[in-house]
Amino acid sequence: MNSPRKQHTITAPASISGVGYWSGSDVHVEFRPAAANAGIVFVRRDLPGKPRIPASVHYRTEIPLRTNLSMGEAGVEMIEHVMAALAGLQIDNCEVWVDRPEMPGVDGSALPFVEVLQTAGIAAQDAPRPRKIIRQVVRHGNEKSWIEARPCCSGKTILQYELDYGSGNPIGRQSLEISLSPRFFHVNLAPSRTFLLEAEARELMARGLGRRSTCKDLLVFGGDGPIDNELRFPDECVRHKMVDMVGDLALAGCDLIGRFVAFRSGHRLNAELVRSLVALDDESKETIKRCA
């Protein structure tokens, strides 16, 4: 088993602006460096007292189709792509200052956040990154959708996702297994975009949501494929589900060492798994007895 890696932060502030998919509001995000062991913290600069919300599963609130956090009266919404970008680049300590609850949708992927963070620069800090080594199988869900954590002797974080939309639509069935690293995340996962079926998009717009978003801002699938858009990868949909996994697993606040296998899992099941893993005793000092 490899030794824990060092923690990282960014070397200078960096910012990005865009429109929230759900609210349609303009939002500005500023990433700021943070000290070792500070973790990821969202700061609502638009509210009195500038309340701070730690990026922890303990503060997650259940709202369908996205990952939200709240602490007291303050909250932040649709944070999964921001969290994925930070975790994918192994940026462990950072303040995320925002002037609206919802994060900007930008192009529907984590790539714009990755590029902004890389422009800021990433620096190692003189502190080891906490980690949790998976040594037993932990599973949530049922036969229709599930996610589980398994031991892995390699000492790496392995992600596996199987997406199954069935027959009769252009998404169909897609699967992917990867070993997570900053380089792989940047090149092969971060560019993949949010997707939904045309019927789902029409339903959301009928509810008054997503009024400022178009088919150019994310992938909307009609009967013949993406409408007014083109795929960046043939299996872009499963890659984006893996981006969501990375962002949701980051709410553990430590590196998770093991194999994570999902079948049609979403934000809720991802969070349930993280809660169970966080509740386990610290296993970093124990020997792995089962390997996958």
For residue 89, what are its two tokens?
Answer: 């680049």
Quickly state the pLDDT bin for 287 (edges 50, 70, 90).
Answer: very low
149: three-class secondary structure by DSSP: strand
Alpha carbon distance 94, 36 (integer Å): 9
Alpha carbon distance 127, 262 (integer Å): 32
Which position has the higher pLDDT, 29 or 206? 29
Domain architecture of the chain: domains with CATH: 6-279 (3.30.230.20)
Element containing residue 275 per DSSP (H, E): helix 267-279
267 labelled catalytic: yes
What residues does 147 pair with on adjacent strands?
140, 262
For residue 91, what are its two tokens?
Answer: 């940026």
pLDDT in tens, 73-131: 999 999 999 999 999 999 999 999 999 999 999 999 999 999 999 999 999 999 999 99
Element containing residue 239 per DSSP (H, E): helix 236-249
Q: Which of 8, 81, 186, 267 is catalytic?
A: 267
Would you state the pLDDT for residue 246?
98
pLDDT in tens, 183-228: 999 999 999 999 989 888 888 777 777 777 888 888 999 999 999 9
pLDDT in tens, 237-286: 999 999 999 999 999 999 999 999 999 999 999 999 999 999 986 444 33
